[in-house]
């Protein structure tokens, strides 16, 4: 018998993730603020609930996939929230990208109700959500994770569901992920600007670098976007700004200095100041080219 899964938040990521749960035979009860996505997922076989509290009444496996920490806080601890009717032994799986500190605080509130909470942010973007190939970085109790692995495996690669550590560790890992991407992306942007301004074709540089130690997924995928000047999102810069704010707060909380990431954040600020927050975040690599007036 498969679990009944509650799913809250049917945005760009949540919708395809919910559909993959249905495809894998899970019974699904959904809630979201907008009517359209709910209707779509109900048409695909889900049931709809009136509130997060209703979801918690009807299921003991509850996924949240929301824009930011305050949204998760509201859905869990707000009026008609999950905590109002959470059943003991339930597992709440927050797959949003939020501050590690918020994740730890909410996990403590869930635990006080005799239930478990996992922070389980993802990487892989909309494509990964649609294809069911997300990487999932999990913080929280390992035995709670074991009970929901089949659920997570419906949305991500089974071998990429990684238990990182205690509550909040999944969000720390996601922060590391966003930090590393930012530094790599800025460096690729600087390299392409150097090439262009030196009269060298950056596509040749990219091809040569892909064969050696400078090779990365960022150089491969975002490098191609930079060469094509194609910034149709993807993952819009305004969401990456939110993620980098989480990164900077986590660095500050941990007293971990990160001078490269601080510069990356400034470059992102310049991109957004230039009115480009709706572009794919890989446009970060163009800020340096703009500074160099190379385009």
For residue 34, the minimal CB distance to a second copy (Å) is 28
Considering the complex, state which of residue 30 and residue 137 has its C-beta at the smaller distance from a second copy: 137
Q: How long a stretch of residues is the chain?
A: 295
| Residue of 100, 101, 81 lying closest to 92 (CA atoms) | 81
User: Is the backbone of residue 125 left (phi > 0), alpha (psi -120 to 50) or beta?
Assistant: left
204 is catalytic: no
Considering the complex, state which of residue 34 and residue 255 has its C-beta at the smaller distance from a second copy: 255
H/E segment holding residue 100: helix 100-112
For residue 147, the minimal CB distance to a second copy (Å) is 20
Residues in Cβ contact with 292 at an 8 Å cutoff, skipping those fewer than 6 apart: 193, 196, 197
For residue 148, the minimal CB distance to a second copy (Å) is 17
CA-CA distance, 65 to 96, in Å (whole number)? 5
CA-CA distance, 160 to 11, in Å (whole number)? 23
Residue 163: other Cβ atoms inside 10 A: 19
Residue 117: other Cβ atoms inside 10 A: 29
3-class DSSP state of 246: helix
CA-CA distance, 164 to 153, in Å (whole number)? 16
For residue 55, the minimal CB distance to a second copy (Å) is 28
Considering the complex, state which of residue 38 and residue 117 has its C-beta at the smaller distance from a second copy: 117
Residue 112 — φ and ψ, nearest 5°?
-65, -20
Q: Which residue has the tokens 């980098």?
A: 244
For residue 294, the minimal CB distance to a second copy (Å) is 7
Considering the complex, state which of residue 23 and residue 204 has its C-beta at the smaller distance from a second copy: 204
Output the six-digit token pair for 168.
């909040």
Do 104 and 72 touch, CB atoms closer than 8 A? no
Output the six-digit token pair for 202.
């950056």
Considering the complex, state which of residue 89 and residue 254 has its C-beta at the smaller distance from a second copy: 254
Residue 74: other Cβ atoms inside 10 A: 14
For residue 235, the minimal CB distance to a second copy (Å) is 9
Displacement of CA 252 from its chain's centroid (Å): 21
CA-CA distance, 41 to 20, in Å (whole number)? 10
Considering the complex, state which of residue 49 and residue 106 has its C-beta at the smaller distance from a second copy: 106
Q: Which of 174, 232, 242, 245 is catalytic?
A: 174
Instruction: List the catalytic residues.
Output: 174
């Amino acid at each position: 018998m498969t679990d009944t899964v509650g799913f809250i938040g049917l945005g760009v990521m949540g919708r395809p993730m919910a559909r993959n749960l249905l495809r894998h035979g899970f019974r699904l009860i959904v809630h979201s603020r907008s009517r359209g996505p709910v209707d779509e997922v109900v048409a695909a076989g889900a049931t709809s609930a009136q509130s997060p509290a209703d979801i918690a009444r009807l299921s003991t496996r509850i996924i949240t996939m929301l824009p930011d920490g305050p949204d998760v806080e509201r859905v869990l601890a707000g009026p008609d929230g999950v905590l109002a009717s959470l059943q003991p032994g339930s597992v709440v799986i927050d797959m949003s990208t939020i501050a590690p500190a918020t994740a730890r605080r909410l996990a403590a509130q869930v635990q006080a109700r005799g239930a478990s909470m996992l922070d389980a942010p993802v990487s892989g973007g909309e494509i990964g959500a649609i294809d069911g190939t997300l990487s999932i970085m999990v913080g929280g109790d390992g035995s709670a994770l074991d009970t929901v692995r089949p659920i997570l495996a419906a949305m991500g690669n089974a071998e990429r569901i990684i238990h990182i550590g205690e509550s909040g560790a999944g969000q720390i890992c996601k922060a590391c992920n966003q930090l590393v991407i930012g530094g790599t992306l800025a460096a690729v942007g600087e390299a392409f600007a150097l090439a262009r301004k030196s009269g060298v074709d950056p596509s040749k540089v990219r091809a040569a670098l892909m064969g050696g130690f400078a090779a990365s997924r960022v150089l491969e995928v975002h490098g191609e976007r930079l060469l094509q000047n194609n910034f149709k999102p993807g993952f819009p810069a305004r969401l990456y700004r939110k993620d980098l704010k989480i990164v900077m707060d986590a660095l500050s909380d941990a007293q971990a200095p990160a001078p490269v990431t601080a510069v990356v954040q400034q470059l992102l600020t310049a991109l957004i100041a230039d009115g480009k927050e709706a572009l794919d975040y890989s446009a970060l690599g163009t800020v340096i080219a703009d500074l160099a007036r190379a385009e």
